[in-house]
Amino acid sequence: MKLVRWLSCVCLALLCSPALAELQLLTEDTPPMSFMRDGEVSGFSVEVVRALLARTGDSGKIELMPWTRAFYLAQQQADIALFSTVRTPEREGKFLWVGPIVVGTTSFYSLRSRNLVIDDLQQAAASGPLALPKQWYTFETLSARGFDNLYGVSTPKQMMTMLKHGRVKLIATEDLTLAGELATVDLKPQDVTAHVPFMRSAYYIAFSPQTSVVRVARWQRALRQMHEDGSLAAILRRWLPHAPMPPVEP
């Protein structure tokens, strides 16, 4: 009789316990970080996120969508995560952070055929219109540094199109995604010149602020385990063999 009563209590507790909501994991088309291949979302950061889902036991749906929409949705309700998101002072309070999963370097770029010389931020600010997606960390960072020549666009492809056709002299992006962005307009890394590396860009998984801090901490622990057992390094070598390992955060 006692056993029956105990089992009844256990079943009741399970029924009354709130189930963890499925995560919405939003990302944009930015090879090799995330992109669509053979009808499935793929890429370095996608592989990391799938590994973290498996380790945490969480369920989640990965969706590819324009960055502006994803950035908006990730601030509206619980259990939404935006990846990969560069962590900046301007964004710090808008999300709960898991990472970093990779680190890159942000620089200005011009067409090599222009033979442009840019030696410092002041010259970049005086170079004429500088194309950037409006929701990118680079737009936020350069705006905060007083750049008044920023030309906001909706997508990385628009940025590259403007560069290719001479509508702007400069863009700002980073080494990890440069080749993929150039490829959208049939350019290659050898077609551009890098100027003035001005920012270390650390990529994170950014959870909406309404998400349970317990869930976010569990993801950070799982990422630390991936550092310790070498699985993060293995994914990084497959996708970004020249990128350094990111630091381990507690």
Query: What is the pLDDT averaged over residues 171-175?
Result: 94
- Residue 34 CA from chain centroid, whole number: 9
Instruction: Tell which residue, 65, 67, 66, 27, has the closest CA to residue 47.
Output: 27
Contact at 8 Å (CB) between 195 and 116?
yes
Tokens of 120: 């410092």
Tens of pLDDT, residues 122-159 = 999 999 999 999 888 899 889 989 999 999 998 899 99
For residue range 205-242, what is the model confidence (pLDDT) as tens digits?
999 999 999 999 999 999 999 999 999 999 999 999 99
Phi–psi pair at 123, nearest 5 degrees: -65, -35
What values do phi and psi take at 5, rounded to 5? -65, -40
237: left (phi over 0), alpha (psi -120 to 50) or beta: alpha
The pLDDT confidence band at residue 19, using thresholds 50, 70 and 90, is: low
Q: Could you tell me the maximum CA-CA distance found in the chain, to the nearest angstrom?
A: 87
Instruction: Kindly report the pTM of this predicted structure.
Output: 0.83
Q: What is the DSSP letter of 198?
A: E
